[in-house]
Amino acid sequence: MKRIGVLTSGGDAPGMNAAIRAVVRTALSMGIEVLGIKRGYNGLLEKDVIKLDSHSVSCIIQTGGTILRTARCKRFYDDKNIEIAVKKAEELGIQGLIVIGGDGTFAGAKKLSSLGLLTIGIPGTIDNDIECTDYTIGFDTACNIALEAIDRLRDTAVSHEKCTIIEVMGRAAGFLALDVSLAAGATDVLLPEHKSDIENEVCKNILQRKMQGKRHNIIVVSEGFGINIHELAAMIKEKTGMEARTTVLGHIQRGGPPTVMDRINATRMGNYAVKLLADNRGNRVVANQRGKIIDYDIEEALSMKKTIDFNDLVICKEISG
């Protein structure tokens, strides 16, 4: 292995830069050159690359976003473009590729591997929706950002005796919403994985707490639950008489410095990924299981479905006070 490529794809996640840094520095320490590929798979199709030396990844371990930029590449849905990408990689002298992203990114990696380009996936998404790994890069930081926001919103909710409704990210997965709800002490949580009846559960709970003297509520809604939180606020007002305020956290959850956990996870995963390529292994996804870094066949990783820990949802409900 003389030269490898690295790219970030899909939504950015804090810690992606730490992973790029680990990839570059590990490879260089083994005498392998690294090309940074810009804007996900688009950069491979367009041969938009930059040679990464040790200095080019200095002072990025603490930064959010991705120095390589990122994109979702629709052209990769067409198998003809995968063949073109493999050819471009050959022209660039890229013998192995590391892709940092979520399941969409891994679907592309699987196809590249099947055409002979050794490709390794590193899970990077704030959604934490990759089953083979306990933690994806960016999840911990996003949880902490959302938690800090909710702690602040609580002050106002308590002072004004109102409901505060917070929408957190998670396209189709409630991992972020559930962990944040446990950590923030949310009174209610709405997740894509669990059907909730707004009138008979959420509104009833609010009224019951009101009767017991609790006059504020913290309601965390996962984006994937698929409700307009402004409409939810109006419904709560109508059914309970309680004022509700809404906050959509949005992309703020994806920015800023990564936490200790994300930096360490990213560093270990980046280092491990290079070693897989150096052993001429491809078609693998790197994973963190109980703190240990291991690897999975991409196809196997993609076929596994992650679901929330329903016991955590029970705990949320039991101690919502």
Query: Which residues form the catalytic set?
Result: 127
CB of 258 to ligand F6P, least distance (A): 15
Tell me the window of 164-172, 261-269, 280-288, 295-303 that interacts with ligand F6P (CB under 6 A): 164-172
Q: Which of 103, 179, 188, 223 binds ligand F6P (CB under 6 A)?
A: 223
Tell me the window of 27-35, 59-67, 119-127, 278-286 that interacts with ligand F6P (CB under 6 A): 119-127
Strands 292-297 and 284-289: antiparallel
CB of 102 to ligand F6P, least distance (A): 6
Distance CA 249, CA 245 (A): 13
- Find tokens 């939180």 and name the residue: 229
Closer to ligand F6P by CB, 10 or 96: give it.
Answer: 10
Buried b (16+ CB within 10 A) or exposed e, 279-297: eeebbbbbbbeeeebebbe
Helices (H), the chain: 16-29, 41-45, 79-91, 103-114, 139-160, 175-184, 204-211, 229-240, 260-278, 298-303, 310-318
| Under rule CB under 6 A, residue 40 binds ligand F6P | no
Q: Which residue is nearest to ligand F6P (CB)?
A: 171
Tell me the window of 121-129, 189-197, 288-296, 309-317 that interacts with ligand F6P (CB under 6 A): 121-129
Helix 310-318 with 175-184: angle, nearest 10 deg? 30
Number of residues that bind ligand F6P (CB under 6 A): 10
Q: Which of 36, 108, 123, 170 binds ligand F6P (CB under 6 A)?
A: 170
Q: Token pair of 255, please? A: 């920015």
Q: Which of 11, 108, 121, 124 binds ligand F6P (CB under 6 A)?
A: 11
| Under rule CB under 6 A, residue 104 binds ligand F6P | no
Name 108's Cβ contacts closer than 8 Å, sequence gap at least 6. 9, 41, 73, 76, 82, 99
Give me the half-sphere count of Cα atoms (radius 13 Å) on the Cβ side of residue 68. Answer: 41
Find out whether 236 and 276 touch, Cβ atoms under 8 Å.
no
| Under rule CB under 6 A, residue 286 binds ligand F6P | no
Q: Which of 127, 140, 188, 295 binds ligand F6P (CB under 6 A)?
A: 127
Q: Which of 49, 61, 109, 126 binds ligand F6P (CB under 6 A)?
A: 126
CB of 84 to ligand F6P, least distance (A): 25
Give me the half-sphere count of Cα atoms (radius 13 Å) on the Cβ side of residue 152. Answer: 8
Strands 188-190 and 217-222: parallel
Closer to ligand F6P by CB, 137 or 184: give it.
Answer: 137
| Under rule CB under 6 A, residue 160 binds ligand F6P | no
Which strands, in side-by-side order, build the sheet including 244-248?
188-190, 217-222, 163-168, 244-248
| Under rule CB under 6 A, residue 187 binds ligand F6P | no
For ligand F6P, the binding residues (CB under 6 A) are 11, 102, 125-127, 169-171, 223, 254
